[in-house]
Amino acid sequence: MTQATVIDGDKGWVQMNGQSQEMPPEALAEFKEQKYAEDLDRLLFVKQDRYGLGLLDEVKVQGRGPAVGVQVKCKGHRDVKLYFDQKPADFCLRGRIS
């Protein structure tokens, strides 16, 4: 199975096994939100004023020791919670959209 997704502004298409179809508006909006959340774990946003950061309680993730949680807020997007392993430092274990 092969799949490709194309986004161009307010339109999107999905191609699976050679069959293309336009994404419904709600599917396109959710895809964009998921992509936004996935990109946050690169931490390139931390110096930008439009993002707000907050510390979350430590949690166990995937049976490992405590992970440090950070909540990311940005106008126009749902909140995203990122959890980082303390060993090795800065390794993102989980991202979750609120």
DSSP string, 38-93: HHHTT-TTTT-TTEEEEEEEEEE-TT-SEEEEEEEEETTS--EEEEEETTTTTEEE
In DSSP terms, 6 is beta-bridged to 13
DSSP state of 10: T
> Taking the model in full, what pTM does it have?
0.64
What's the pLDDT tens digit per position in 64-77? 778 888 899 999 99
**Average pLDDT over the chain, rounded to an integer:** 84
More confident site: 40 or 22 = 22
Please give the biggest Cα pair distance in the chain: 46
Q: Is the bond leading into 88 cis (omega within 30 degrees of zero)?
A: yes
More confident site: 94 or 83 = 83
- Residue 42 scores a pLDDT above 80: no
What confidence score (pLDDT) does residue 5 get? 92
Query: Cα 2 vs. chain centroid, distance in angstroms?
Result: 23
More confident site: 8 or 39 = 8
More confident site: 91 or 71 = 71
